[in-house]
Every structure is written in C-alpha cells, then in structure tokens.
C-alpha cells in the first residue's frame, strides 16, 4: 500500500481524539494511565477546575516530571466528584492527527451548541499554533469550558503572555523534593510537618522536632544520583539491581531531558539552526555546575558570540533544565552586572548529560557539588511558588556565601558543606556588611554527625545556626507545599 500521499481524514482525527479519552465509555481512567501516588498539585488541581473562578490553569515543568500523569489523575478526581465522564476531554496536542486542525476548531466542535461545562485537559499545549490567542478567545467569549494545559517549557509563554493576565494562572511542577521522595518510599515520618508563614520559622520547627536523621544517608545518596523524576524513581524501587537501574535512569534522562529538549523542543520553538551547539552548551554547563558561568569562556569554546551564549542559556532556563543565581546586592543595577552561578534543576540531569554513571558516588568533590545543587534546586522550587528571589554572594575580597534566600521580612543565608565543620568567614563577612542577616545564617551539612548538633542561630555562640542537609531539604519541601497551597487557593 502506497502511503506517500495519505492525508488524514476528519473521521481519523475524531477517532484519535476518542482514543485518547477511554473514560467516556469506561467511566474511569484505565490503570495504565492512572498512578495511585499523587503529588500535592495533582491532589488539588481538580478543585481549581470546580471552583468559582473561570481562570484557566497552565502547568509548567520539565520533561518526565509527571505532567501527563497529573492530568490523568485530575480526570479521575473530576469523575469521582460526580462530573460526567463524557464532559472531560484529554488532548495531547503534539499528536500528529490532532495537529491537523487548530485548537479553536477542536474546542468549538467539543462545545457545539451545548451549555454544559466541558473540562479540557490540553497536554503540551505549546505544540498548538497560537495557543495563547485561542485561550484568550475561549475566555473572552465565555465558552462553557474549564481548561488545564501543560507545557515542558516556559517558552510556551513567549508570545502573548500579557494576554494571559487575568485569564490563566501558572502552576509549576518540578522534580520531586527530598520529602516527596521519602514519602514515596515511606521511609521516614517527619515529612508531613506543615510549613510556617516563612522559611525561617519552618526551619526552627524542623530543628526542634526532627533533630536526627542518621538513617537517611542511603536514601539521600539514591536521591542525588537518580534525581526527582517520579517514573524513574518508581522504576528504581521495583528492582534490586540498583546499579543497572541507575544507569538506565541516566540513559532515559539523557535522551528525554537533554537530547530531545536541545535537539527538538527548543529548536522548534526558537528556530535554532544548529541545535548541536545547544547540546554542547549543556555539557559545558554540567562541567561548571555550582560555579560561575563565564559567558566569554563559553563563547570562545563553542566559537559563537557572547549574546548567542546568553540567549541559549535563557532558552535552557525556559526549558527547566538549568537556572542561574545572580550575586546578591541591595541595588538592582549591581545585581544585573555581577557574576551568576549556574545550577541544574535536578543534578541527575547533569549526571546524565555528562554520562557520569555511578562515578559521583565515589567522588567526594562531585558528591559535594550534587549536595549544593540539590540545596539550590529546592530553594529554586520554592521561589517558583512564592516569588522570593534566590542569590549567591561574593564580594571584592572573595568572601562568599553559597545561597541567599531574600525574603523581605525573613532573609536567610546558607553555607552548604559535606563536612561537620566548615569555614564560616563568608557568613561572618555577610553579616558584617549586611546586618539584616544577623541571626539568620545557617551552616547546612550533610556530614553524618551534623544532625546531632542542630541549633538555631540564637543558640550558637558565633551567631550561625546548624542544620543537617536532610532537615534543610525537608524544611524547604514543607515550605514548598505551603506556598503551593496558597497559589492554588487563589485559583478556586
């Protein structure tokens, strides 16, 4: 049969849509699509659809983080709450047949003449042409639809973002935090402590209530090597062959989170003519993780211009692969001028990009980088939910501090180490130069004995608090849940 001239028919496109929505006949989401373990966003997103607000929801996050599963779980929650399964529509917008017609044609065909609310779950909406204009149209024309859309890139918001103000809200789904990982394994009992009004108070709660974490070292090492991607974490739990499971997870991340993003997703969105340079940039940034991103050096190595390097780094940030932390200063113009440090949204992506295998587990320096990156990534996840800016700090005397959480009412500075004892000169210099950080500095250590010396800055003679790396991650995780809860409340 000659298929070279085959063109999709209208019926074939409709059949493809029906195939994507089996609950219309079954009355439930089939087991292969539905995962019983729900993340916080999946447990509450459906409530936003049933709330009084007509504002749409756009869920952003990297590939393999579980956005599609979140949509399927939302479908099941709607059905369990009494919504007619025939009024719930899932559409994967990168499906070749669904791409035959524009988004407006599909939605208006689904709505038809009926006035009953239709619930639309649009996966990878950035593949739909002029998606933002269509969402604006649906909202302004008051079509009887409630919409949740997903995208693996904030690049999906590059056009017409202003048109979304008041019409849709952004929700962020990032890799699992350490607490979510522990809950998935059901291996610890302090992961359900609620967040406080600010991170400083939450840390105080963890210091007081969960002082020791001696049993978590093995879990932490797994988490740092596998990363926070739920599908890979679950696959790892189902096998006793830890080494092969880790290697397979890295192969998957390299293929999906690195090569596909650099070779297809971003080039398609931004019309990048030479995507191999983008992939090479990821490898160079992986070698510099937790260090200053020297744009001139990167440009020289890649033999491209500095503006091009800066633009490519912005693309990678929009795809949720990396993020940059500027150098702290009370003055905004100084922040923009000074050097930035590069981190990965998940250190396991860096390991996969560089094909490091199990090597980081036996390299203290490399494990130290993964520890610092995980600390920065947790604060970055929190910043996506509450808007608090994150910095590093280095002054002209080379005094430096790893991470600064610049909450206007409760700022905190953190020095991250794999040792029990660590040079505190950077934190002292910061407190001397900026008194707002006095009594708000912490040494965060992954050393096995660090949890036995947990204390707040007020209880320390040098004014620097101590908290174990595990407790720090769980405190930030709790604050992420609290901040996400506030975001979702505004969507109801």
Q: Per residue in 69-106, pLDDT tens?
A: 999 999 999 999 999 999 999 999 988 888 888 999 99
For 244-254, the pLDDT digits (tens) are 777 888 888 89
Q: How far apart are CA 117 and CA 230, in angstroms?
A: 32
DSSP string of 51-109? SS---EEEEE--TTSSHHHHHHHHHHHHHHTT--GGGEEEEETT-TTGGGS-HHHHHHH
Residues 6+ apart with CB under 8 A from 446: 220, 371, 417, 418, 468, 469, 470
Instruction: Tell me what pLDDT residue 2 has.
Output: 42
**Closest among 39, 96, 25 to 69, alpha carbons compared:** 39
Q: How far apart are CA 102 and CA 106, in angstroms?
A: 7
Higher per-residue pLDDT: 278 or 448: 278
**Closest among 482, 480, 475 to 451, alpha carbons compared:** 475
Q: Is the dihedral of CA 52, 62, 295, 378 positive or negative?
A: positive
Are the C-beta atoms of 144 and 114 separated by less than 8 Å? yes
Q: How far apart are CA 62 and CA 319, in angstroms?
A: 6
Give me the half-sphere count of Cα atoms (radius 13 Å) on the Cβ side of residue 349: 32
Q: Enumerate helices (H) and strands (E) in the chain, giving the number of each.
A: 20, 12
Calculate mean pLDDT across residues 46-53. Answer: 90
Higher per-residue pLDDT: 403 or 164: 403
Q: How far apart are CA 451 and CA 474, in angstroms?
A: 13
Q: How far apart are CA 447 and CA 368, in angstroms?
A: 11
Calculate mean pLDDT across residues 222-241. Answer: 74
342 membership: H or E segment, kind and range: strand 341-344
Name the β-bridge partners of 59: 150, 171
Q: What Å distances lie between residue 455 and 176, 205, 212, 450, CA to CA?
A: 27, 11, 12, 10
pLDDT tops 70 at residue 163: no
Q: Is the dihedral of CA 420, 220, 323, 165 positive or negative?
A: negative
pTM strictly above 0.85: yes
pLDDT tops 90 at residue 323: yes
Q: How far apart are CA 115 and CA 131, in angstroms?
A: 23
Q: How far apart are CA 121 and CA 181, in angstroms?
A: 27
For 105-150, the pLDDT digits (tens) are 999 889 987 789 999 999 999 888 888 889 999 999 999 999 999 9
What own/partner pairs with CB < 8 Å and gap ≥ 24 does 108-114 have? Answer: 108/143, 110/145, 111/143, 111/144, 111/145, 114/144
Instruction: Tell me what pLDDT residue 53 has.
Output: 86
Q: How far apart are CA 156 and CA 154, in angstroms?
A: 5
pLDDT tops 70 at residue 452: no
Instruction: Tell me what pLDDT residue 23 has.
Output: 96
For 465-475, the pLDDT digits (tens) are 999 999 999 99
Question: Which CATH architecture is the domain 10-172 placed in?
Answer: 3-Layer(aba) Sandwich (3.40)
Confidence band for 425, pLDDT divided at 50, 70 and 90? very high
Domain with CATH 3.40.50.300 in the chain: 10-172
């Amino acid at each position: 049969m000659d298929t070279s001239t085959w063109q999709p028919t209208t019926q074939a496109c409709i059949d493809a849509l029906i195939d994507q929505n089996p609950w219309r006949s079954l009355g439930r989401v089939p087991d292969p699509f539905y995962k019983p373990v729900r993340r916080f966003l999946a447990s509450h997103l459906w409530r936003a659809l049933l709330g009084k607000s007509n504002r749409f929801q756009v869920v952003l996050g990297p590939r393999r983080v579980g956005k599609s599963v979140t949509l399927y779980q939302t479908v099941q929650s709607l059905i369990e709450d009494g919504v007619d399964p025939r009024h719930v529509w899932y559409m994967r917008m990168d499906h070749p047949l669904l791409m035959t017609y524009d988004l407006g044609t599909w939605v208006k065909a689904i709505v038809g003449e009926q006035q009953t609310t239709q619930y639309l779950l649009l996966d990878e909406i950035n593949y739909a042409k002029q998606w933002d204009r269509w969402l604006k149209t649906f909202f302004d024309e008051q079509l009887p639809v409630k919409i949740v859309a997903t995208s693996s890139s904030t690049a999906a918001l590059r056009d017409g973002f202003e048109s979304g103000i008041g019409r849709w809200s952004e929700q962020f789904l990032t890799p699992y935090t350490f607490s979510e990982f522990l809950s998935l394994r059901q291996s610890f009992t302090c992961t359900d402590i609620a967040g406080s009004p600010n991170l400083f108070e939450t840390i105080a709660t963890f210091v007081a209530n969960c002082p020791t974490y001696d049993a978590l070292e093995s879990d932490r090492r797994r988490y740092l090597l596998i990363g926070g991607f739920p599908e890979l974490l679950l696959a790892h739990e189902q096998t006793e062959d830890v080494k092969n499971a880790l290697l397979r997870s890295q192969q998957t991340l390299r293929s999906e989170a690195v090569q596909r993003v650099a070779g297809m997703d971003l080039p398609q969105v931004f019309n990048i003519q030479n995507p191999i340079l983008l992939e090479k940039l990821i490898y160079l940034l992986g070698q510099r993780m937790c260090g200053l991103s020297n744009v001139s050096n990167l440009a020289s190595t890649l033999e491209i211009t500095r503006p091009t390097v800066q633009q490519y780094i912005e693309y990678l940030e929009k795809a949720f692969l990396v993020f940059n932390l500027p150098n702290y200063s009370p003055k905004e113009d100084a922040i923009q001028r000074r050097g930035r440090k590069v981190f990965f949204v998940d250190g396991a992506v860096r390991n996969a990009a560089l094909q490091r295998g199990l090597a980081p587990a036996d390299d203290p320096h490399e494990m130290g980088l993964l520890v610092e990156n995980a600390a920065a990534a947790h604060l970055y996840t929190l910043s996506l939910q509450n808007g608090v800016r994150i910095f590093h700090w280095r002054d002209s005397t080379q005094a430096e501090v790893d991470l600064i959480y610049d909450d206007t009412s409760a700022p905190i500075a953190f020095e991250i180490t794999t040792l029990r004892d660590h040079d505190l000169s950077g934190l002292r210099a910061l407190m001397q130069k900026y008194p707002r950080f006095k009594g708000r500095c912490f040494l965060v250590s992954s050393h096995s004995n660090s949890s036995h010396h947990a204390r707040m800055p007020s209880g320390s003679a040098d004014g620097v608090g101590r908290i174990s790396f595990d407790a720090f991650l769980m405190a930030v995780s709790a604050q992420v849940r609290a901040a996400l809860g506030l975001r979702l409340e505004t969507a109801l």
